[in-house]
Chains A and B, each alone.
Chain A
Amino acid sequence: GENVEQHPSTLSVQEGDSAVIKCTYSDSASNYFPWYKQELGKGPQLIIDIRSNVGEKKDQRIAVTLNKTAKHFSLHITETQPEDSAVYFCAASGGKPGANNLFFGTGTRLTVIP
């Protein structure tokens, strides 16, 4: 099955700086790569996703890049704010036709220091 690795496990940045979280995956058939944000006491919530026919996607301060050849994808958060502090999970899916099972990374705890 799919194996997703995520780094770093913890990340501290000063408010206003950028944060980058990286993930690799093992199944070359995977074609959907979402990023979830989990705040304390809540379930994960999708913040951005990318499909394999696209190399980069942006949504305001958040961007995701995908390198299918190298089988890695990254989350970039610019101009970080204290409310960005949370645990972020990457995931990969779509190895089987019609499947929607997500394989998650182990998470990155991001702390934005005011």
Chain B
Amino acid sequence: DADVTQTPRNRITKTGKRIMLECSQTKGHDRMYWYRQDPGLGLRLIYYSFDVKDINKGEISDGYSVSRQAQAKFSLSLESAIPNQTALYFCATSAGTGPYEQYFGPGTRLTVT
């Protein structure tokens, strides 16, 4: 089984709808991240969490919120989806207190019409 899973893998939604993307990990890592990938822009950090009680904004947090329900679960919400939030979303985890390898999930392709 995959160490980092994301659900759903694909989602089409309409402008104004609320949507939640979920991430689960079995690696036992404390740190979890949400990234957004757009063509030609690489990956940009939306939110990150060092543990259940520690959640931080990344580069592009406007329009997004997150919830860390447990060490293994980190959810990303779009309260009112808009078309320019159409993108590929990745969850990642890492261990340790310094810079270490991040392990990425398979991604969720979100389309907002």
Give A residues with C-beta under 8 Å from B: 1, 4, 6, 9, 31-32, 34, 36, 41-46, 49, 89, 93-94, 98-107
Q: Which residues of B contact A46 (CB under 8 A)?
A: 101-102
Do the beta carbons of B42 and A42 come within 8 Å of each other? Answer: no
Closest to B6 in A: A43
Do the beta carbons of A49 and B101 come within 8 Å of each other? Answer: yes
Main secondary structure of the interface of A (DSSP, over half): loop
**B69 smallest CB distance to A (angstroms):** 21
Do the beta carbons of B99 and A43 come within 8 Å of each other? Answer: no
Do the beta carbons of B48 and A101 come within 8 Å of each other? Answer: yes
Choose among B31, B90, B92, B99 the residue that contacts A94 (Cβ–Cβ < 8 A). B99
Do the beta carbons of B99 and A45 come within 8 Å of each other? Answer: no
Do the beta carbons of A100 and B94 come within 8 Å of each other? Answer: yes
Complex-state Cα separation, A93 to B45, whole angstroms: 12
Do the beta carbons of A106 and B41 come within 8 Å of each other? Answer: yes
Do the beta carbons of B58 and A101 come within 8 Å of each other? Answer: yes
Q: Which residues of A contact B105 (CB under 8 A)?
A: 43
Q: Do A100 and B31 form a contact, CB below 8 Å, given A31-B99, A32-B99? A: yes
Q: Which residues of B contact A45 (CB under 8 A)?
A: 104
Q: Do A89 and B42 form a contact, CB below 8 Å, given A43-B105, A43-B107, A100-B31? A: yes
Do the beta carbons of A94 and B40 come within 8 Å of each other? Answer: no
Q: Which residues of B contact A36 (CB under 8 A)?
A: 104
Interface residues of B in 83-113 (CB under 8 A from A): 90, 92, 94, 96-102, 104-107
Choose among B42, B43, B98, B106 the residue that contacts A100 (Cβ–Cβ < 8 A). B98
Q: Which residues of B contact A41 (CB under 8 A)?
A: 106-107
Q: Which residues of A contact B48 (CB under 8 A)?
A: 101
Complex-state Cα separation, A107 to B41, whole angstroms: 8
